[in-house]
Amino acid sequence: MKVNKTSATLSLAALLIGIEIAVRASGLVDFPLYDANKEIGYIPKPSQAGSFLHKNTWQFNSLSMGSGPFKPSSGIDVLLIGDSVVLGGNPYKQQDRLGPVLQIESKHAVWPISAGSWSISNELIYLKAHPDVLKDIDTFIFVLNSGDFQGPSSWGCETTHPREYPYSAAYYVFKKYIYDFQPCTGVLKELTVAEGDWKTALKEFFEFETVKGKPVSFFLYPNKKESAGSIEVSTFEGYAADLLQASNGRAHVFSIFRDPRWSEQFFRDEIHPTVEGTKVLASIINTPNQQTEIK
């Protein structure tokens, strides 16, 4: 019996080691890492690259943009600002994300800065902290959804925004995709971003010398429910008045929901676009239908 227990223990250990090796070899834990602090909440770590599942390539430059090194072009440079809709995330290859697709569509240099679940407050914190970037940008484009007009997002979970690679790849994958025995419960006090007011921060953004006189556009991006014609979309579009007021009428606000090119069929889940949907979204941003502008 003792020999059998020892044999079973060794077999189990061998099985677990085999699973760990297999998971690591699969590329399931080749994902971006994040920095977290109480100033911005969290942001992709600078200067990193990888390939999720050995096929979905990703990269971030020294400024945490989802692109190669920041080298302003001799033409038009666009700063594309948003949350996971801009980021794309692990399910997308680098070339299928909104920034690279918009760059091909527009033939301009597009520099995406984003993070999953960022709000407009997090985005404005980044912009304020990078005046050297703003001075080299010619056009600013925000992609915003109805969840972005809340307070700033703070870091609160290694599962969704990992700060380091897991000691056990197998356990991490089980926890993330199958069952989480210890789900994240809240934000640490030392990592909580001050509430602030995004409307005030946006007014301040428009007064930056590096922004004055440059085109700024906001694209209100609906989730799947709103795209179905939910009455909630009218509430969402109500934020357009706040955006225009903060810009003193200098910005343009467009509703993706109103554009005939957009459809429910372009959602991969409740909010993120499919690869084809990303192409359509890039086309809408590049050539907005003037009838979809909210004034």
3-class SS at 41? strand
From residue 170, how far is each of 17, 27, 91, 215 by CA, in Å?
9, 11, 19, 47
What's the rounded Cα separation, in Å, for the pair 231 and 124? 29
User: What pTM was estimated for this model as a whole?
Assistant: 0.94
* Domain annotation covers residue 169: no
Handedness of CA 34, 92, 220, 62 (dihedral sign): positive
**pLDDT at residue 100, as a whole number:** 98
Give the tens place of pLDDT for each residue, 230-253.
Answer: 667 778 899 999 999 999 999 999
* Domain annotation covers residue 167: no
* Domain annotation covers residue 263: yes
21 falls in which pLDDT band (50, 70, 90)? Answer: confident
Residue 8 pLDDT > 80 = no
* Domain annotation covers residue 12: no
Q: Which domain holds residue 257?
A: 68-154+194-294
Residue 229 pLDDT > 80 = no
Domain CATH number, residue 282: 3.40.50.1110
* Domain annotation covers residue 234: yes
Residue 137 pLDDT > 80 = yes
pLDDT, averaged across the chain: 93
3 falls in which pLDDT band (50, 70, 90)? Answer: low
**pLDDT at residue 116, as a whole number:** 95
Lowest average pLDDT, out of 43-52, 186-195, 200-209, 278-287, goes to: 186-195
How many independent structural domains does the chain possess? 1
* Domain annotation covers residue 143: yes
Exposure on the CB side of residue 283, measured as CA atoms within 13 A: 10
Angle at 124 between CA 137 and CA 204, to 5 degrees: 85
What's the rounded Cα separation, in Å, for the pair 118 and 86? 11
Tokens of 30: 């080749």
Give the tens place of pLDDT for each residue, 54-103.
Answer: 999 999 999 999 999 999 999 999 999 999 999 999 999 999 999 999 99
What's the rounded Cα separation, in Å, for the pair 104 and 97? 11
* Domain annotation covers residue 105: yes
Give the tens place of pLDDT for each residue, 154-176.
Answer: 999 999 999 999 999 888 888 88
Overall average pLDDT of the 258-268 stretch: 95
Residue, of 120 and 232, whose pLDDT is higher: 120
* Domain annotation covers residue 148: yes
**pLDDT at residue 231, as a whole number:** 66
Residue, of 22 and 126, whose pLDDT is higher: 126
Tokens of 4: 């059998």
